Structure 1
Amino acid sequence: MDYIGKKCPVCQKYFHADDDVVVCPDCGTPHHRECYESLGHCSNENLHDQGYDYQEDKENTAETDGMKICPSCGHANDNSHFFCGQCGAPLSPGQAPRQQQAPPQGAGIPFGQQQNPQGGNTAFNMPFMDPLAGVDSNTDFGDGITAGETAKYVKQNTPYFIRVFHNIKTMNKSKFNFAAALFTGGYLLYRKMYKIGAVFAFIQLALMAVESYLTIAYSSLYTEFLNAYSQSLSSGNLTGGITEYMQGLDAMQILVLYLPTLVEAARIVMMIVFGICTNRMYFKHCKKQIKKIKENATLGENPETVLQTKGGVNTGLAISLMITYLVIMYLPNIIIGFM
């Protein structure tokens, strides 16, 4: 039986997914193990002689019918929510995960496995991943924005970002974002930072287009340079051979030879800057968007629902941009192959 979202009859607190639950063998009433042990018997022991069988009370039924129960904290959420309004944990689309029933105290555990302090045994219980990475959902991230609200907006990879945002807020320290360094403007578009993402994606595409154009338009010059380089290297006089070759070129040809290196250096610098700065940029973006959503929430509109539908990522746009990058990157080789 699923006890998540139901109340312990002793402490009147909700059962959570990781709680150690003891079920009375006579009537089926669930208890927290600590509550059962402190009481010393089932809370409904006086009803056993009357043939009592555990039933969900009206209060619990009213609170959980038509609701999504958070598998992490047991909070009852509206069916339209994707993340818990209490702790920010993702909600399953259907019924909450079934809780494993712990054996009564003193019951043997097979194969010598040990009981973990949260119930169940260590061989079969998997720890629940905390979407807030240990940060309290009510932690203030500034501008009246909480960690729980930020998790609802971020959606994908929340443990990483919530921990990073918390470090930025409390210690002014961030982490190097390798995905942002690799994909620069495309990563910003993926994270729905459309304005600044479009600018840097255009810059990146422009740099790649310039490099591709030079490779195609001056393919013969690059071929001659590579031949001169190979001959100088084989003769053992690399510096002298390259210097002699360069002396025979005009200023425009020399500039064309150096441009691809300069363009590549600019791209590398941009990648490093993005890796260092993107997490801070995304943190500011999230707070700005969450604040705007909360301020613009109309009557009858649930800000939590809007946060979950407006945030997240744009995978389709990121894939389209990646395809464009690949086309521009390999187009020169295809064209030169047909020349």
Structure 2
Amino acid sequence: MANFIGEVCPICKQKFKSGDDIVVCPECGAPHHRSCYLEHGACAYHDRHAEGFTVSGQRREEQKKREEEAHRQQQQSAQQRSNANVCSNCGTLNPQDGLFCMVCGNTLGLAGPQQEQQNPGVQTPFAGVKPDEKIGEIPAKDFAAYIGGNAAYYLPKFEGFGNHHKTVSVNFAALFFPSLYYLYRKMYVTGTVFFLINLVFNVFSMILYMNGNVDISSSGPLTMVYYVMTVLSVLTFVLSVLSGLFANRLYYHKAVKDIKKCQQKHPDPQEYLPALMKKGTVSLYAIAIAMVVLSVVTMVMVYATILYH
């Protein structure tokens, strides 16, 4: 009888306990309390005996249903996990339609799936700026989506520009590599200007190198090249210093302009974030193109030098 402990009497619906007086139907094997069986006058499944019903068969059927239900729940749970946004910064599971992590404020959807649980003490990408805090007229979370992975660096500086009217902020990348920095941040006009100045300077340097044995003072064209190089050298230095001091502010104004355009063009929140990320973040293609152009020009100048000598 111990085998029936925990099972349910089909008549009174109560679980069997140790010490209960239990009888088993000789036809289908269903256990009953003896008192229930006698009061009912027959097996609870008497009407199903003709169709070959047995308790063991019912148990197998119920077990199959339980297994199918468990499998369905596992699939549903897996689907929910796949649909959830996993924060690449702290590992928090966020709703599928979430734009920013509920814990650290990180922009969701910028990185691949989370492979390991990250340290929850990692610095928030908002660097102390609240996601919904306004920088000027724009929420910090919009700037974070626009900037991309380096939001922790830019947001405090943007907050200074937008809310405290600061004007100067040092950016060493823009100081030492201005053309590459601006192209990387999709400030194509400014980046192209710096790139062309640097390119012309290199070309003129090669011209002087190719005519190293010629007295510059006795050659009109070379004298002009020398003076142009001097002017370009001073201009490059001055512009690089200004770039290092004001690049962050230029980037802030570009971000404000682009974000406002996206807000007007994409009022639907489902379209707004992808458009914002596409308009902002960075451009590796621009860097690659600039490096290819510079390499080609350098090869041409080297080849010309070899032919000249």
TM, length-normalised to structure 1: 0.56
- Deviations 1:167-193, CA, capped at 9 Å, x for gaps: 223250532222122332332221112
Higher-Rg structure is 2
Matched residue count: 229
CA-based RMSD of the aligned residues comes to 3.6
Distance verdict in 2 for CA 1:259–1:178, change over 3 Å: same
For residues 62-81 of structure 1, the C-alpha deviation after alignment (integer angstroms, 9 at most, x for no partner) is 99772214464957343695
Matches within 5 A, 1:31-180: 66-70=83-87, 72=90, 74=92, 76-78=94-96, 84=101, 88-91=105-108, 93-95=112-114, 97-98=116-117, 127-142=121-136, 144-169=137-162, 170=164, 172-180=166-174
% identity of equivalent residues: 25
Q: Which residue of 1 aligns with 2:248?
A: 279
Range with bigger deviation, 146-155 or 201-210: 201-210
Contact map agreement 1:179 1:275 (CA 8 A) in 2? yes
Structure 1 134/75 Cα, relative in aligned 2: closer, same or farther at 3 Å?
farther
The separation in 2 between residues aligned to 1:95 and 1:183, in whole angstroms, is 33
- SS, match of residue 94 in structure 1: coil
How far 1:320 moved relative to its partner?
1.9
Change (3 A) 1:148 1:73: farther
In structure 2, give the amino acid aligned to 1:268. F
Question: Residues of 2 paired with 1:257 and 1:97: CA distance?
Answer: 59
5+ unaligned residues in a row in structure 2: which ranges? 1-76
Q: Give the corresponding residue for 1:102.
A: none
Match of 1:309 among 273, 278, 282: 278
Residue identity matched to 2:159 = H
**In the aligned structure 2, how far is the partner of 1:147 from the partner of 1:80?**
16
Evaluate the alpha carbon distance shift between residue 90 and residue 97 of structure 1 in structure 2; reply closer, same or farther with a 3 A threshold.
Answer: farther
- Structure 2 distance, partners of 1:140, 1:150, is 10
| Higher RCO (CA-CA < 8 Å; seq separation 6+) | 1
**Rounded Cα–Cα distance in structure 1 between residues aligned with 2:122 and 2:195:** 37
- Deviation at residue 255 of structure 1 after TM alignment: 3.1
Alpha-carbon distance change, 290 to 168 in structure 1, aligned in 2, over 3 angstroms: same
Quick one: distance in 1 between partners of 2:154 and 2:101?
17
TM-score, normalised to structure 2, is: 0.61
Give, as a single letter, the amino acid of the residue that structure 1 aligns with 2:84.
M
Report the CA distance between 1:313 and its aligned residue. Answer: 0.6
3-state DSSP of counterpart to 1:267: helix
The question of whether the paired residues in 1 share the 8 Å contact of 2:90 and 2:117 is answered with no
The residue aligned with 2:257 is: 288
* One-letter identity of the residue aligned with 2:94: A
Q: What does 1:239-258 align with in structure 2 at a 5 Å threshold?
A: 246=217, 249=218, 251-258=220-227
Deviation at 1:155, TM superposition (A): 0.4
Higher helix share: 2
Q: 1:300 to 1:251 in 2, by over 3 A?
A: closer
